[in-house]
Amino acid sequence: MKVPFVGYASHRLNLVVVEYMGSYEPILDKVKPLMHKLHGEKKLGPVLRQATRLSSTFNMVRRYFDNRDAIDTLDDAMAVLMPIRREESQLETLLDELKAFESSSKKLQSAEGLSLLDVRDIFDALITEHSGVESYLAADAAIVQQPEFEDACISVLMGKADTLTEQQRALLLPFAAPTSPRQGVDDEELSFVDRALENASCSVSSHPSTPRSQ
């Protein structure tokens, strides 16, 4: 079965990230002026944050920690902008959390070889690790535009085409084509999204009768 990539999957993830980062806005707003001040210093080369962009926020926070020890805290103008210990702890937590969202976002944006089943696996993994994101990422979330179509696609990709209703078969008929197996990941260090897809594949292989959340 060959279907066009559902573009709003990335949109759903972006909505989650914007909402998730809301509680971190005060500390992010504090780090932003610091990165502005560092801008132009070649040895630090900070990344400035652009609102609503996951990658730029992730890169800004990561670059802060990469360059933290090189920042001249004897400079009063610089020292006053530095996060205090509690704020640094918050930034460390945020950076760790954003890694999963960042790898998921990149995978969705690439879309190459990505199926609706892969999207479902990625979203399910995010739901498992991050409470509260299900309002946008769950299979039955209100934002899902065509839940019956997606359920039908996932059923076919799971090898359960015989469970389709007549209406679901009619929805999928225009997209009929041979399915392609998932490609294995050879990298020694797997990202969050790679682990999610590998674990989902292993789960289906070991327990073919165990349904995914749909």
**DSSP structure class, residue 131:** T
Burial code (b: 16+ CB inside 10 Å, e: under 16) for 142-151 equals: eebeeeebbb
3-state DSSP of 52-84: CCHHHHHHHHHHHHHHHHHCCCCCHHHHCCCCC
**Which residues lie below 8 Å from residue 153, measured CB to CB, with a gap of 6+?**
1, 3, 115, 116, 117, 172
Q: Cα–Cα distance between 17 and 160 in angstroms, integer? A: 33
- The SS3 call for residue 176 is coil
Nearest CA-CA partner of 8 in 107, 144, 125: 144
Q: What is the pLDDT of residue 206?
A: 45
Q: Output the CA angle 212-185-20, nearest 5 degrees.
A: 60
Query: How large is the angle between the packed helices 192-206 and 85-110, nearest 10 degrees?
Result: 60
Q: Cα–Cα distance between 202 and 23 in angstroms, integer? A: 36
For 189, counting Cβ atoms within 10 Å of its Cβ (0-12 exposed, 13-18 middle, 19+ buried), the class is exposed
Q: Mean pLDDT per segment of 10 residues, for the chain of length 214 residues?
A: 59 88 90 80 50 77 88 83 92 93 86 77 91 88 75 71 75 64 52 65 47 50
Question: Hunting for tokens 């997209």 — which residue is that?
Answer: 175
For 29, counting Cβ atoms within 10 Å of its Cβ (0-12 exposed, 13-18 middle, 19+ buried), the class is exposed
Q: What is the pLDDT of residue 181?
A: 52
